[in-house]
Amino acid sequence: METDADGVVQTSAEALTFARDLGTRSGEPVQAVVVDEVTDAVRAQLGEQGVAVAHHPVDERLTSYAAAAWSAAVVDVVESSAATVVLASGTPRGNEVLAHVAARLDVAMAANVVQVDTPKPLVATRQVVGGSAQEEMRLDDRVAVLSVAGHACDPVAAATPVETEVQTYAPKLSDRDLVAKVARVEAKAKSDTGALTSARVVVGAGRGAGSADGFGDLIELSELLHGALGVSRVVTSLGWRPHHEQVGQTGSRIAPDVYIACGISGAIQHWAGCQSAKTILAVNTDAEAPMVTKAHYAVIGDLHEIVPAINEELRKRKG
């Protein structure tokens, strides 16, 4: 489980809903491992999701994220319980921790799962090739390990909330588990417009932005819509924006409610990362650009005229 100052993060809440659905069908209760502090907010959210027990490892060496140490803490719970499925959200951390968990348990792992058809034996459908294809994977080891793709489901509260019991335990950690750990955390720069993969609105920007100085209106639009900025690989390769903002096969896969792709041609490698958006609006000078032909809506024109006009209208409506 990943948490932040506000409690359970959105992607982990999705994974909990996914787990509850699976547990309902297989007849197993949902338990959580929370390495960070189990605050009242976290406990309440777990209760809403129907989590009966939250396992909280207590060790002074667990003060910062360390994939091997977190996985050791998860494996302790798996081995002391009757759990047959271990899952986490398919974030970089979720996938990294689960890869360690699977290696320690000597079982297979399915990453980026969107659906589980049969809980026993477990057959999972997962996204591959940057999300442009799906494959079925049969997990019939004694423990199935899988990560849930972002937005595979919406987080939904359980019909009957429960009172989550918090159980602390001393995880079996070795010093080797702490060799690779987070040493420093820096605050995001103001222009980092939020968590790209969990944003409900993403404003995309491509080569059409023109230069490193051409993103001001696009960032403003993402802020007005409480969204995030996502960019094409050309933009990151040219050094106009940082790599963590890249959408696509070699960037982040996103599935927002709305993706506003401005000055992006829609190459297949970019499309692989944004095709799961529920609604796509393209802004492009070229009416034949693949992004325009695939989008639900398109505005043909210069983004440097269209985006400021949208911003002005939004500002007016917000008063």
Write out the H or E segment, with its range, that includes residue 72: helix 67-80
144 vs 234, which CB is nearer to ligand FAD? 234
122 vs 303, which CB is nearer to ligand FAD? 303
Closest residue by Cα to residue 52 from 89, 10, 20? 20
238 vs 314, which CB is nearer to ligand FAD? 238
Q: To the nearest whole angstrom, how small is the minimum distance from the Cβ of residue 209 to ligand FAD? A: 8
Q: To the nearest whole angstrom, how small is the minimum distance from the Cβ of residue 111 to ligand FAD? A: 17
Residue numbers of the site for ligand FAD (CB under 6 A)? 206-208, 232-235, 246-251, 263-265, 267, 269-270, 273, 283-286, 289, 302-304
Q: To the nearest whole angstrom, how small is the minimum distance from the Cβ of residue 308 to ligand FAD? A: 12
121 vs 301, which CB is nearer to ligand FAD? 301
Q: To the nearest whole angstrom, how small is the minimum distance from the Cβ of residue 219 to ligand FAD? A: 16
Q: To the nearest whole angstrom, how small is the minimum distance from the Cβ of residue 284 to ligand FAD? A: 4
Contacts of 194 (CB under 8 A, 6+ apart): 222, 226, 227, 228
Q: To the nearest whole angstrom, how small is the minimum distance from the Cβ of residue 8 to ligand FAD? A: 29
Q: Which amino acid is at 103?
A: A
Distances (CA, A) of 311 to 37, 128, 201: 40, 36, 15
Distances (CA, A) of 84 to 87, 99, 121, 142, 311: 10, 16, 11, 7, 50
Query: Rounded to whole angstroms, how far apart are CA atoms 76 and 169?
Result: 9
125 vs 269, which CB is nearer to ligand FAD? 269
Contact 35, 73 (CB under 8 A): yes
**Helix 303-318 / helix 216-224 crossing angle, nearest 10 deg:** 30
237 vs 279, which CB is nearer to ligand FAD? 237
Contact 106, 79 (CB under 8 A): no
Take residue 29 and report the two structure tokens written for it: 């209760």
